[in-house]
Amino acid sequence: MKTYTPRAIEIERRWWLVDAEGEVLGRLATRVASLLRGKHHPRFTAHMDMGDHVVVVNAAKVVVTGKRLQQKKYYRHSGYPGGLREEDLARVLERQPERVIRQAVRGMLPGNRLGRSQLGKLRVYAGPAHPHQGQRPVPLDLQRPGGIASAAEPAEEVTA
C-alpha cells in the first residue's frame, strides 16, 4: 500500500465568511487558522498549502476576556533608534481592529514561507461589508459543535 500525497492542482479551495461579532478573540483565531491551514480537509498535508480563503467581518465587535484590554500590549518598531512603539489592546481595537485578528491568526500559523502564504488568504474587515460577494463565501457557524462544516452547506444527496 502506497502513501497518497495530494498534488497542488488537486486542491479545491473554498471561501468562508466568518462573523466575528460577539466571538472571543482566541477561539475565533484558532478556527480561522485551522481553515487557513486546511486541517479540516481529510487529505490534510502539513507541508502543503491546503487551506481555504477566509473573510472575517465585524472585526471591531470581537470580545476579549479578563483584563486583556488594558494588559495586552502590541509592539512595532520603525527601524530607527528609539523607534519602539507600544499600544494596549483597547487602543488598537478602536484604531485598527483588523490588525488584532490578523496578529492573533498569524501567531497560530507556521513561521515560514508556508505560513506567510496561508496568511495571504485571510481578509479581515472592521464592519459587515466586504468586496468578496463574487466568490460566494459560505457563512461559517462558529457556535456549531464538532466539525468545521457550516449549517449553510447543502446536504449530500444519497441515491440508491
DSSP the chain: -PPP---GGGPPP-EEEEE-TT-BHHHHHHHHHHHHHTTTSTT--TTS--PPEEEEE-GGG-B--TTHHHH-EEEEE-SSTT-EEEEEHHHHHHH-HHHHHHHHHHTTS-SSHHHHHHHTTEEE-SSS--S-GGG-PEEP-TTS-SSS--TTSPPPP---
Query: What is the layout of strands, in order, in the sheet containing 15-19?
Result: 122-124, 53-57, 15-19, 138-139
Cα–Cα distance for residue pair 144/27, rounded to 1 Å: 13
Q: What are the backbone dihedrals phi and psi of residue 16, each rounded to the nearest 5 degrees, phi first?
A: -115, 145
- The predicted pLDDT at position 77 comes to 97
- The predicted pLDDT at position 104 comes to 97
Cα–Cα distance for residue pair 144/25, rounded to 1 Å: 17
- The predicted pLDDT at position 153 comes to 53
- The predicted pLDDT at position 148 comes to 53
For residue 68 the three cell numbers come to: 486583556
- The predicted pLDDT at position 159 comes to 53
For residue 147 the three cell numbers come to: 466539525
- The predicted pLDDT at position 156 comes to 47
- The predicted pLDDT at position 106 comes to 97
**Tens digits of pLDDT across the chain (160 residues):** 898 888 989 999 999 999 999 999 999 999 999 999 999 999 899 999 999 999 999 999 999 999 999 999 999 999 999 999 999 999 999 999 999 999 999 999 999 999 999 999 999 999 999 999 999 999 999 887 654 554 455 444 445 4
- The predicted pLDDT at position 145 comes to 64
First to last CA, the chain: 30
Domains of the chain: 12-63+98-139 (3.90.1180.10)
Residue 43: CB atoms within 10 Å: 12
